[in-house]
Amino acid sequence: MEVGYRKMQRQSSCPNCSIMMFGRKMSFFLTPPCGISAKKHENDLVLVAGHRNEAEVAEAYGFKNFKLMEDYSRENPFLWFVDTKKHLAALNREGAHPSDFHPEPVKAIVVFTDPDSWGRDLQIMTDVLRSTGVPGEESSEQVVPIYCSNPDFVWMSEFSVPRFAQGAFTQCLRMLYRQATGRELEVTQYGKPMPGTYHYAESLLEKMMENVDGKGVPDAIYAIGDNPAADVRGANNAGSRWKSVLVRTGCFMEGENDPVDPADIVLYDFPAAVDLIIKAKKE
């Protein structure tokens, strides 16, 4: 986004434009309702899943008593059979039995992004979610809540075909839970295209704009993204002031517009979107 940042910085003198710069970086943290979950489970044992910086993110949200999936698996080596021997050896517990381990009850699960080890985490999460919070202690109802960010089913990497994203992981977890229990998994979902993400963004913009010019949220909010099912759908459903801008740099590459989730505007890339928005505000 550096190119887009420089263009916006250069053109931010436009008198009718509300462009806010914060040092050298523009940060949009659009899964903040996880902070609400942190307040509710501040001192509870929470399992945290992801594939990088999960501990730092959990601490930033305010979770005080959490375990990463890798650590929980290591401390309870019989949960994921692939690593059982390795973990028992590391604990100097060769010959141990599953009954020798007494895990603290898990009170919640938070998934920040799709994990590195899908197999391990799907197994352990299913064990916890079908239990009282202690794997193996079965429950007739779901007592452990799970909070997930980013429902995107796919994302675009350097490969020519989109890769599975966190939404695909969540769908796998739902299916496994249904097969194991006969019940539907209740998931608190954050991220695009969920309405709460956009409501929170509006509240942030309103506070920021009041500090800048005292006028509150502008009439038009442009949401730029490359995933029609997430970025465009979310903006289209967020209200009349939101304008969806679809760029051809990710999941959407061909065609005039997406047939399922058509955007208000379709452009080549992010800088082109910035140019159009700046021009529109100058007119």
Model confidence pLDDT, tens digit, residues 73-131: 999 888 888 888 888 887 778 777 787 778 889 999 999 988 989 999 999 999 999 99
Residues 157 and 116 in one domain: yes
Domain that holds residue 273: 2-28+198-282
Residues 208 and 185 in one domain: no
Residue type, 276: L
Q: What pLDDT does residue 106 have?
A: 97
| Strand runs labelled E in the chain | 46-49, 66-68, 108-111, 146-148, 154-155, 163-164, 187-189, 221-225, 242-247, 265-267
User: Rounded distance, CA 9 to CA 24, Å?
Assistant: 10
User: Rounded distance, CA 222 to CA 216, Å?
Assistant: 16
Residues 258 and 176 in one domain: no
Using the structure block, give the residue that is written with the tokens 């399922």. Answer: 260
Q: Which residues contact 162 (CB under 8 A, 6 or more apart)?
A: 154, 155, 156, 251
Residues 213-272 have pLDDT tens digits of 667 667 888 999 988 988 999 999 989 989 999 999 878 878 899 999 999 999 989 999
- Portion of the chain with pLDDT greater than 90, in percent: 41
- In degrees and rounded to multiples of 5, residue 279 shows phi and psi of -65, -40
Residues 166 and 207 in one domain: no
In the DSSP assignment, the letter for residue 228 is I
Residues 75 and 173 in one domain: yes
In the DSSP assignment, the letter for residue 186 is P
Q: What pLDDT does residue 3 have?
A: 36
- pTM for this entry: 0.72
The CATH number of residue 225's host domain is: 3.40.50.1000
